Amino acid sequence: MFAEQAAPTAQGLLAPPSAEPPTFPRVAVSGYSDCSQPFQLGERSFARQYAHIYAVRLASMRPSLERRARSRWGNDIAVRRLSELQEGEECCVVGTLFKAMQLQPSILQEISEEHNLVPQPPLPKYIQPSDELMLEDELQRIKLEGAIDVQRLVTGTIVAVYGREQDDGRFLVKDHCFADLPPPLPWSGPSSDRFVLLASGLGLGSVSGEALLSTQLLVDVVTGQLGAEGEQSCAAHITRVILAGNLLSQNTQSRDTLNKAKYLTKKTQAASVEAVKMLDEILLQLCTSVPVDVMPGEFDPTNYTLPQQPLHRCMLPLASAYATLRLVTNPYQASLDGVRFLGTSGQNISDIFKYSSMDDYLEILEWTLLAGHISPTAPDTLGCYPFYKSDPFILTECPHVYFCGNAPHFQSKLLQGKEGQRVLLVTVPDFSATQTACLVNLRDLSCQPITFSSFGADSED
């Protein structure tokens, strides 16, 4: 999208200095509203059990699932609770899925002396053919079999199954359905080209330095220093930059203090300190030119459980002096110029990846949208705050742009729903590995990756 507009003046700077070169004003932010209040936790109490979040999840999603079930299998189907099941009766049951996985890491097994187990090394996937699916509702649970893909589904999903109970106590599933796309939001996007840059996984503080120049090039393109005039004028249409997590690299996470003797580590500084300073400088360069939303990620200095709270602004003294810097939660939901963005830093998708047979991040992203829940595996395998009043991860409105960060590569898809929903699904790649960021055009919900490269000692690209 840049190139076509910029092409005419592409070679313009291969010339002697001209008179006063033009300066392009950044397109103003016309409408921004932060909708991530449900993800902001105030006073936190961990004295509650996690059962409440499942109860709330089921209670909130039951009505919409029953509606879906009736529309799919007929209005006259019997919707039963598990306690009301009669053997042989064809009915529909709404409940929470639970997948019993043998390989699922269990702390109790690890420390159990009778098993004498060596702690399991982290695996890429924990699925096994012997996994079993169970349906739980408020009071009972029942084993599922039949037309349901055990490998694909994960614990915590709210599902409606249609079938009957067999004599051996299992439920034979004839069909199942999820909550499907949430109701659509009205569209009020801009009429002219407006771009939002999505980037994630900057990975500062890592040992390798190749990505540093690419990061600098990214900042330069956005701030309008790089490129010929045409490209700069296009870059002036970038209204926002969203950094979706993992601003710090995983290398900053190792703490020698845990392994080494104190006399060796007393004077050493944590690796994240330098990395955060570098982040502050990069954010300062960005903030002087464009509004930036910074989401924390898995390796960033904030809390571990979802929803992750914003980074504290005292860590970014230079950049937080500017009003254009917004430190936001993970997941993040906001309305930019009438376009609703919803996204995470990727922990939810990568956790589902570990416990499901789905391999494609985009497929998983789409599946979470269809299941109506951002992160069904929380709190089972992904850390989560023990909500009890409401589950903020339930999708109640269909966003226009749904993204996840730190994916292995860039993918995007425009999903059309039955009720007129139009969602752009974007998997934002890990910048430190791929040097790729995404440009989303708000006018027509199209997305283009933007790659940066430099020359290394060996690369001939």
Instruction: Map the footprint of another protein across residues 226-255, applying CB under 8 A.
Output: 226-232, 234-236
CB of 317 to another protein, least distance (A): 10
Q: Which is nearer to another protein, 61 or 202 (CB)?
A: 202
Torsions phi, psi of 319, nearest 5?
A: -75, -35
Query: How many other C-beta atoms can be found within 10 angstroms of the C-beta atom of residue 58?
Result: 18
Q: Which is nearer to another protein, 22 or 186 (CB)?
A: 22
**CA dihedral of 308, 313, 315, 319, whole degrees rounded to 10:** 120
Q: Is 335 in the site for another protein (CB under 8 A)?
A: no
Cβ 334 vs Cβ 34: under 8 Å: yes
Q: Nearer to another protein by C-beta: 6 or 382?
A: 6
Task: Determine, following the binding rule CB under 8 A, whether residue 18 of this chain makes contact with another protein.
Answer: yes
Between 272 and 289, whose beta carbon lies closer to another protein? 289
Check: CB of residue 257 under 8 Å from CB of residue 269.
no
Q: What distance in Å separates the CA atoms of residue 252 and residue 268, rounded to the nearest whole number? A: 13
Q: How far apart are CA 264 and CA 173, in angstroms?
A: 60
Contact 87, 165 (CB under 8 A): yes
Is 460 an interacting residue with respect to another protein (CB under 8 A)?
Answer: yes
Q: b/e map of 7-21 (b: 16 or more CB within 10 Å)?
A: eeeeeeeeeeeeeee
Nearest approach, Cβ of residue 374 and another protein (Å) = 26
Indicate the pairing of strand 158-165 with strand 238-244.
unpaired
Q: In what order do the strands lie in the sheet with 332-336?
A: 32-34, 332-336, 339-344, 401-407, 422-429, 411-416
- Residues between 28 and 47 with contacts to another protein, criterion CB under 8 A: 28-29
CB of 12 to another protein, least distance (A): 8
| Binding residues with another protein: total (CB under 8 A) | 74
Piece of the chain touching another protein by CB under 8 A; list 100-108, 118-126, 197-205, 316-324: 316-324
Q: Which helix (H) or strand (E) holds 348?
A: helix 347-355
Q: Does 109 contact another protein by CB under 8 A? A: no
Which residues ranging from 202 to 231 are in contact with another protein (CB under 8 A)? 209, 212-213, 216-217, 220-221, 223-231
**Is the CB of 26 or the CB of 143 nearer to another protein?**
26
Q: Residue 17 or 129: which CB sits closer to another protein?
A: 17
- 26 lies in the site for another protein, by CB under 8 A: yes
Least spacing, CB of residue 326 vs another protein, in Å = 11
